[in-house]
Structure 1
Amino acid sequence: MKIKGNYKLPASRSVVWDMVMDPEILERVTPGIKELKELSQDQYEAVSEVRVGPVKGNFTGKLSIKDKTEEEGCTLVIDQKSKMGNVVAEIVMNLASSDEGGTDVTYTGEAKMSGTLASMGQRIMSGVVSTLSKQFFKSMEEEIDKRSA
């Protein structure tokens, strides 16, 4: 399943970069994440619970950050397992300064699913990914607002 989108955040690239590289912030803003524990540099154990529409499940696995170019982008590698199926995704995130002084975030990638997740079909899962992405960026905005208050 293809994943892609973009979002405009009201903060500089350096602020957005620092937030994406901070596991405590990622734990707070990523929908469903219950725990993000550092295993080594750029390697984390992730425990999450996802509930969106017909999709409900507890997932455990790893999150890795690779191909980092400071304040420009990185690749997120997600490998999550649950009773309802597994998800392996690789998402490239790029940051660019916007004309208004904020940051344009674009992301593209692919997710491979197995088990019940795969049988739900791309249309349902695309909706879930879209909803989770919107929640993530809305939470990032709220975190930015807290920093500037």
Structure 2
Amino acid sequence: MEFSGTHLIAASREQVWQCLNDGAILKACVPGCESFESVGEDRFDAVVVAAVGPVKARFKGNLVLSDRDAPNSYRITGQGEGGVAGFGKMTADVTLSAAEDGGTSLHFVAQAQVGGKLAQIGARLVTGVANKMAAEFFTRFTAAVSGTVSGAVPEIPAQ
């Protein structure tokens, strides 16, 4: 399945780029994220709890950032195993550009694949949950970037 979106963030492209590369901010912004640990340059191990319809699982996986063009774009590749619930794989291309109001436009195009029980649930339900999680991520991310820009401690909305 493929999904995409564009989000306007009231911060400079450099500030948004810095936050997109901050493991602590990413951990706080991913819904259900229990851990997000750097295991090398541009590589992270993560544990995320997610529920898709009747299937709730704890996914253990990894994330790799590649094709960097600071502060313009990068690719995120991730995969996770959720035991009997199945697996998920995702690739997303993220692009930052200047917005007309002086902020930053963040655009992403993602492809995702699921297997196991998750695949049996149906693409429509899985896509809906993925879109909801993406929307929640960007709500939290925008709040984190705003806190970083103002110099305040970023306050992430509760999970």
Q: Normalised by the shorter chain, which TM-score bucket?
A: over 0.9
3-state DSSP of counterpart to 2:131: helix
The offset of 1:144, in angstroms, is 2.3
Q: TM-score, normalised by structure 2?
A: 0.89
Q: Residue deviations 1:92-144, cap 9 Å, x none?
A: 01111100111111111211110011111111011111101110110012112
Query: Which residue does the alignment assign to 2:147?
Result: 146
Deviations 1:43-100 (A, max 9, x none): 1111111135544210001011000110111100011000201011111011111001
Query: How many residues of Structure 1 are paired with residues of Structure 2 in the alignment?
Result: 149
Instruction: Return closer, same or farther for 1:63/1:87 CA change in 2, 3 Å cut-off.
Output: same
CA 1:53–1:119 in structure 2 vs 1: closer, same or farther (change >3 Å)?
closer
* Structure 2: distance between partners of 1:143 and 1:52: 26
State the secondary structure of the residue aligned to 2:47. strand
C-alpha separation in 2, matches of 1:95 and 1:60: 28
% same residue: 28
Aligned to 2:156: none
Q: Any conservation in 1 of the 2:87–2:114 contact (CA below 8 Å)?
A: yes
Structure 1: runs of 5+ lacking an equivalent: none
Residue type of the alignment partner of 2:116: G
Amino acid in the other structure paired with 1:137: F
Partner of 1:63: 63
Tell me the residue number matched to 1:21: 21
Quote how far apart the aligned CAs of 1:9 are: 1.1
Cα distance in structure 2, aligned partners of 1:44 and 1:103:
25
Please say if residues 52 and 125 of structure 2, whose CA atoms lie closer than 8 Å, have aligned partners that are also in contact.
no
* 2:35 corresponds to 1:35: yes
Structure 2 letter corresponding to 1:47: V
RMSD of equivalent CA atoms? 1.3
Task: Note the 1:1-149 alignment, pairs <5 A.
Answer: 1-51=1-51, 53-83=53-83, 84-147=85-148, 148=150, 149=152
Q: Please list every run of at least 4 consecutive aligned residues from structure 1 whose deviation after the TM superposition is greater than 6 angstroms.
A: none
**CA distance in 2 between partners of 1:103 and 1:55 (Å):** 36
CA distance in 2 between partners of 1:47 and 1:131 (Å) = 19
Contact kept? 2:52, 2:126, Cα under 8 Å: no
For 1:126 and 1:37, how far apart are their aligned partners in 2?
Answer: 27
Q: Report the residue type matching 1:94 in the other structure.
A: T
- Aligned with 2:141: secondary structure? helix
**Structure 2 unaligned regions, length at least 5:** 153-159
